[in-house]
Amino acid sequence: MRLAISASSCINPGVFSQTEDTEASAAADFQVQAVDYKEHIEARQLRRLSKVAKMGIYSAKACLAKTEKQQAESLIVATNTGGFSALDSFISSMIEKQEQNLSPVYFLQSLLSDVTGQIVLSLGIEGYTTTYTNRGGAFESSLLDAKILLEEQPNQTVLVGGTDELPASYSDIIRHSNFLDTGGQEGQASDIPLGENAIFFALNTQIEEGDVIISDCQSYLGLAPEQANEKLQAFLSTNAGVIPDLVLSGFYNEEQFSSYFPGLEAKKNVVLFKQYCGEFPTSTAFGVWLAEQVLKGEISPEALGLPETLLAKNILIINQFRASNFSFTLLSTNQ
Amino acid sequence: MKSKVYVTGIGIVSAIGLGKDEHMENLWNGETGLRSLTHLSTVKQGLFPAGEVPLTDTELYDKIQNLGIRPDHQSRTLLLGTLALEEALEQAGENVLQGRVGFIGASSVGGLRQTETYYEQYKHGGVESRRFQTHDAADCIEEMARVLGIDGFVTNINTACASATHAIILGSRMIRAGLLDTVIVGGADALTKVTINGFDSLFLLAKDQCRPFDRDRSGINLGEGAGFLVLQSDKSRKRSGSQALATISGFGVRNDAYHATSTSPNARGLTAAMSEALLLAELRPTEIDYVNAHGTATPNNDLTEGVALQRVFGERMPYFSSTKAFTGHTLAAAGAIEGIFSILALQHQVIPPNLNFEHPIEQHGLVPQQESITAKVEHTMSNSMGMGGYCSTVIFSKI
């Protein structure tokens, strides 16, 4: 896999926000609040969109606006909670009104496939489009699909995104059901802030000097700590034994991370990246975006609490979701 | 040289039966599975006929109780899917899960039936809160993979009513790209109150049995079910000794990019997907013997899909039918169920009929095949379209 990131966009309420949305990071959860959607979406259209579709369209358009041809031929989206707010409204009114006189708008917005369809309509993408929904593996599947697609049809831009929404109904349910606590060593999951984001990348295989490259991404289901460590060693050795300069970890604390990957932590600069975005199923997209920003010099090592002198050329993202989905994604600068 | 993609196992559950033999028999005899809902509890039970699998959750569970499905992961979608998956794997043989194995499942509702039942408890806390983990399709697909011992790449796709066709295509692409040796693809969806009410709120449901491609069609009957296909590379098939049932010779994926819920007047997305599939299969339109159409029986779908069929096939229209008047529209499972019908057509050299057709649609005048017949069938095509503009087509070829 060698995918060049020709542009990216991230809607996110944390300190690295590209919109006005920085204040929200003081809140317990990372909810997107202060985006001026009208910059990229007509007012008429805005009223009929779910939050995930608004965020998705905005971010997808902002991403393509930074590319030379301002268009993509194909679109691959990862989402697991997209449309949940609308689903909550639809189910609640279905119960309350005993299945009578329900609004089709909420039903349509509740479909996980809707965000992709809405982006397609906004951008007029007529090529390959698909949506992955498998929690902490969905964004990873999207990258894999983009890689295969760019081998099949090389001369194109594939727009790949990860987006999830976090309405109050969803965060309530997550906490009532202890969804993130799977009974293993990640027992402190209930303390982690949740998040919502829309992060898009324009990918191609016309790699030029200085481009940020996604050089590999592998995902796994249900690994025990020792298995995860074995998979990581295998991943690093298939990537020419690369020693990453920086590791962005999607674990919640250092103890948890080092119980899976003993030995790695001591030698590496490890940053727990969910402190900047919260937990959400497609969070690897945020990890990839953060890594890209660091490699491009847009975000300094100091901003991540790292030594100013750190010159990162390879960044490894090690992510987990519910200690069930695991993934390793490697980014580097093409030289 | 890309590896050929072989289908070596199929498994299917729908309103017209459990397993491929019952499906073949009922397709041949023109026996519909559409009737009044009995198992799904909704105030709309008597209003809309549906393709409901005629077994309770307990009866479904009893058939696969030896597999060790965990109670707190159980959902009707999971039960339907596991039944179909087990049949597909059994046909492909015990050695099939070796090498690089993948599982690509499609579901649009997942455990939504639990969600709508226990929603108040999910939201405000209660003894059933933990069941929320069954809410999404991921849980269903992962539990199916677990109980049937599929260890490898697992993902799931949701492109609405095109989901399972997208899954078949991703599996085929991964084999052709040399990333997997064996991949099980397909989809499962149970009927839910949310879907019935959602489609009703859009005025898309027919009050009587649906009439695909008929002038007087009045909408969809929803259905439920599951279909899974075992796909293998040539090398993998030889190693496992699995018998090939068909090959996947072409496919196409496009977006109509026209409207969130309706297809463009000339169905440009589907036309492009069909053309792309033919190109990849290196087949001329005249070499396709049967098309299993998406044919939902909505005014918009059957008009525009007919136009697309005419644009691709011109005057020499192959046999075509929509089998949705047998099974109802099984949403994310539809592409797998109908893909399997397209394979059965190749294996048995038959054309599955289109029920309830009387008068052609004025604008295109197309007449689907109404009676079951035997015919020479070398190549079949299966079409899917989903809300959001998703269009996908697969071509199956005889061994």
Q: What angle (nearest 5°) sits at the alpha carbon of residue B124, between those of residues B118 and B125? A: 75
ipTM over 0.95? The verdict is yes
The residue from A204, A230, A254 where one domain ends is A204
How far B374 CA sits from the closest chain A CA (Å)? 36
- Distance, in Å, from the CA atom of B357 to the CA atom of B325, rounded to the nearest integer, reads 10
List the beta bridge partners of residue A317.
A248, A329
pLDDT per residue as tens digits for the range B77-108: 999 999 999 999 999 999 999 999 999 999 99
A107–B390 CB contact, under 8 Å: no
Distance, C-alpha B83 to centroid of its chain: 15
Given the residues B23, B140, B161, B210, select the one marked as catalytic: B161
Do A198 and A310 lie in one domain? The reply is no
Q: Check B135, B329, B364, B379 and give the catalytic one.
A: B329
DSSP calls for B77-139: HHHHHHHHHHHHHHHH-TTTT-SSEEEEEE-SSTTHHHHHHHHHHHHH--TTGGGGGGSSHHH
User: Residue B2: which pLDDT band, with cuts at 50, 70 and 90?
Assistant: confident
Q: Please answer yes or no on whether B255 and A172 come within 8 Å at the CB atom.
A: no
Domain boundary among A179, A204, A229: A204
Shared domain for A41 and A141, answered yes or no, is yes
Alpha-carbon distance B126 to nearest alpha carbon in chain A (angstroms)? 8
Collect all residues of chain B within an 8 Å Cβ-Cβ radius of residue A222: 142, 146
Mean pLDDT of chain B: 97
Residue where one domain finishes, among candidates A171, A204, A237: A204
Nearest one of A292, A310, A271, A257 to A63, comparing CA atoms: A292
Active site residue B259: no
* Number of structural domains chain A divides into: 2
Picking from B334, B245, B223, B228, the residue whose alpha carbon sits closest to that of residue B12 is B228
Mutating which of A71, A93, A95, A120 best tests the B interface, going by the most B Cβ atoms within 10 A?
A120
Lowest mean pLDDT among A157-166, B259-268, B273-282, B313-322: B259-268
* Residues A218 and A120 placed together within one structural domain of the fold: no
pLDDT per position as a tens digit, B130-146: 899 999 999 999 999 99
- Cα B162 to Cα A263: distance, rounded to the nearest angstrom: 46
Asked if B159 and A118 come within 8 Å (Cβ–Cβ), the reply is no
Q: Using the predicted structure, report yes or no on whether residue B357 has a pLDDT greater than 80.
A: yes
The answer to whether B221 and B209 are in contact (CB under 8 A) is: yes
> Measuring CA to CA, how many Å separate B186 from each of B78, B87, B251?
13, 13, 15
Topology (CATH level 3) of domain B247-397: Peroxisomal Thiolase; Chain A, domain 1 (3.40.47)
Q: What angle do CA B344, B345, B346 make, to 5 degrees?
A: 90
Q: What is chain B's alpha carbon radius of gyration, rounded to the nearest angstrom?
A: 19
Per-residue pLDDT, A192: 86
- CA B354, chain centre distance (Å): 16
Shared domain for A85 and A121, answered yes or no, is yes
With contacts defined as CB-CB under 8 Å, which chain B residues touch A135?
A: 136, 138
Quick check: B224 pLDDT over 80? yes
Whether residues A105 and A225 share a domain: the answer is no
State the average pLDDT over residues B388-392.
97
Pair A249, A181 in one domain: no
Cα B364 to chain centroid distance, Å, stands at: 26
Contact check, Cβ <8 Å, B130/A178: yes
Nearest CA in chain A to B390: A129
Do A101 and A45 lie in a common domain?
Answer: yes
Asked if residues B263 and B32 have their Cβ atoms less than 8 Å apart, the reply is no
pLDDT, residue B1, reads: 53
Q: Which of B45, B128, B132, B157 to substitute to test the interface with A, most A CBs within 10 Å?
A: B157
A95 with A161, same domain? yes
Q: How confident is the model at residue A263, as a pLDDT? A: 81
Mean predicted confidence (pLDDT) in B387-391: 97
The parts of chain A modelled with pLDDT lower than 50 are: 24-26, 186-187
Q: How far apart are CA A64 and CA B86, in angstroms?
A: 44
Q: Taking the CB of residue A255, how many other CB atoms lie within 10 A of it?
A: 11
Smallest Cα distance from B272 to chain A, Å:
9
Beta carbons within 8 Å of B3's beta carbon, 6+ residues apart:
B175, B176, B178, B233, B234, B235
Q: For B232-248, what is the mean pLDDT?
A: 97
Identify from B72, B158, B172, B202 which residue to disrupt to test chain A contact, counting A C-beta atoms within 10 A and taking the largest count.
Answer: B158
Amino acid at B357: F
Phi and psi at B258, nearest 5°, equal -125, -50
3-class state of residue B27 by DSSP: helix
pLDDT tens digits, one per residue of A283-323: 999 999 999 999 999 999 999 999 989 999 999 999 999 99
Cβ neighbors of A9 (< 8 A, separation 6 or more) are A18, A59, A60, A62, A63, A66, A198, A199, A200
Q: What is the CATH number of the domain that holds A76?
A: 3.40.47.10
Pick from A110, A129, A134: CB nearest B390? A129
Can you give the pLDDT at residue A26? 44
**pLDDT value of position B306:** 98
Pick the CATH number of B5-240 from 2.70.98.60, 3.40.50.720, 3.40.47.10, 1.20.1530.20: 3.40.47.10
* A contacts of B387 (beta carbons < 8 Å): 108, 111, 113-114, 117
> Is there a single domain that holds both residue A106 and residue A168?
yes
Cβ distance B255 to A125 less than 8 Å, yes or no, reads yes
CA A35 to chain centre: 18
Given an 8 Å threshold on Cβ–Cβ distance, is B255 in contact with A107? no
In terms of domains, do A139 and A230 share one?
A: no
Query: Which residues fall within 8 angstroms of residue B225, CB to CB, at 6 or more apart?
Result: B12, B13, B14, B15, B51, B53, B80, B84, B188, B189, B327, B330, B333, B337
B182 neighbors B97 (Cβ within 8 angstroms): yes
Phi-psi region of B263 (alpha: psi -120 to 50; beta: other; left: phi over 0): beta
- The whole-number pLDDT of residue B59 equals 98
Return phi, psi of residue B186, to 5°.
155, -160
By residue range, what is the domain housing residue A76? 3-204
Q: Based on the domain organization, do A101 and A7 belong to the same domain?
A: yes
Residues A185 and A314 in one domain: no
Q: Which of A21-25, A292-296, B224-228, B289-293 has the lowest mean pLDDT?
A: A21-25
Say yes or no to pLDDT of B39 above 60.
yes
For the question of residue B73 being annotated catalytic, the response is: no
Q: Which residues contact B181 (CB under 8 A, 6 or more apart)?
A: B98, B99, B100, B101, B175, B232, B233, B235, B236
Do the Cβ atoms of A107 and B260 come within 8 Å? no
DSSP string over B162-212: GHHHHHHHHHHHHHHTTS-SEEEEEEEE---HHHHHHHHHTT-B-SS---T
- To the nearest whole angstrom, how far is the Cα of A185 from the nearest Cα of chain B? 19
Task: Compute the distance between CA of residue B106 and CA of residue B84 in angstroms, rounded to an integer.
Answer: 13
- Catalytic residue, chosen from B294, B364, B379, B391, is B294
Looking at chain B, the whole-number percentage of residues with pLDDT higher than 70 is 100
- What is the chain A residue with the closest CA to B203? A104
CB-based contact A137 B131, cutoff 8 Å: no
**How far apart (Å, rounded) are the C-alpha atoms in residues B191 and B197?**
11
Helix then strand count (H, E) for chain B reads 12, 13
pLDDT score at A266: 64
What pTM was estimated for this model as a whole?
0.97
Place of tokens 């069941």: B131
Angle (CA) A271-A186-A278 rounded to 5° is 50
If one compares A27 and B198, the residue with the highest pLDDT of the two is B198
pLDDT at A186: 46
Does residue B161 have an active-site annotation? Answer: yes
